[in-house]
Structure 1
Amino acid sequence: MIDSRTAPYAVLLLRLALGILFLAHAGLKLFVFTPAGTAGYFASLGLPASLAYVTIVWEIAGALALILGIWPRLAALAVIPVLLGSIFTVHGAAGFFFTNTGGGWEFPALWIIGLLAVALAGDGAHALRPTPFGKAR
């Protein structure tokens, strides 16, 4: 049985953790790899270099939406393609374990599960703008 008194806070915690992870990964692309370096890496994978800039903006927007609770259920679903892209272009070939050279796909897959949990469970506590399709039951 789900404790309806504490479940919204569990979703809030999950939203915050996932949002912070997205900010951290966008920060890597901005401050460590640099946007130009990230674009070069995307191009080396055969992807359009401009997709790197879209990815950085999408990660930041998704992170802020999750953290602030602005349509968090939709935000959770909207950032899943970024992680699927990372699995299919980089991490999938490295195997399951994220400690493998090139990083495996276990961490992005777990991250996707967390995002799906937010989408299914509801907006959580302290959402600034709840998702338009209603509250979780």
Structure 2
Amino acid sequence: MINKFEIGTLILRVVLGLIFFVHGLDKFQGGIENTVGWFESIGLPGFLAYGVGLLELLGGIALILGLFSRVVSGLLALIMVGAIVKVKLSAGFIGGYELDLALLAIAVFIAINGSKAYSLDQIILKGKE
């Protein structure tokens, strides 16, 4: 039987996965070269755009499916820290980094607690997470 905590965590995992999937998809649909150029314009190596885009895209799918949720969430949390520090912090809280901070908190929560409800990890690991 799935408890309320697991249902809540499932909702957070799927929503976080969906948000990151769409952001990753947008990076590639909009032309990853544009994202590469933007990364370079803010002083980051352009090749990082590929890693961030792929992690958002594939990591989003993995979270929705409940596959490697802790690891993926930890990596997405690192992306959020980078986004906040490098891009959003100077804009302030409102209209700046408030959404990134919320996504960071959700990612850290899942990285710490995992998400067992309706996850492929449960099937693969047979409840050993």
Deviations 1:95-133 (A, max 9, x none): 1112xxxxx01110110111122223332301101497x
Moved more, 60-69 or 11-20: 60-69
Give matches, 1:30-41, under 5 Å: 30-32=28-30, 34-41=31-38
Match of 2:102 among 95, 105, 110: 110
Q: How many angstroms apart in 2 are the aligned matches of 1:52 and 1:119?
A: 23
1:28 aligns with 2:26: yes
Q: Secondary structure at the match of 1:97?
A: helix
Q: Quote the offset at 1:7 in angstroms.
A: 1.8
1:9 corresponds in structure 2 to 7
Structure showing the higher helix proportion among its residues: 2
Q: Quote the offset at 1:6 in angstroms.
A: 2.2
1:121 corresponds in structure 2 to 113
Change (3 A) 1:124 1:11: farther
Aligned partner letter, 1:81:
L
2:51 corresponds in structure 1 to 54
TM-score norm. by structure 2 comes to 0.87
Q: Quote the offset at 1:57 in angstroms.
A: 0.8
Deviations 1:69-110 (A, max 9, x none): 112122211211111111111111111112xxxxx0111011
Runs of at least 5 residues in structure 1 that lack an aligned partner in the other structure: 99-103
Q: Percent identity?
A: 30
1:85 aligns with 2:82: yes
Q: CA RMSD in A?
A: 1.8
Q: Quote the offset at 1:28 in angstroms.
A: 2.0
Aligned partner letter, 1:5:
N
Report how many residues are paired: 125
Runs of at least 5 residues in structure 2 that lack an aligned partner in the other structure: none
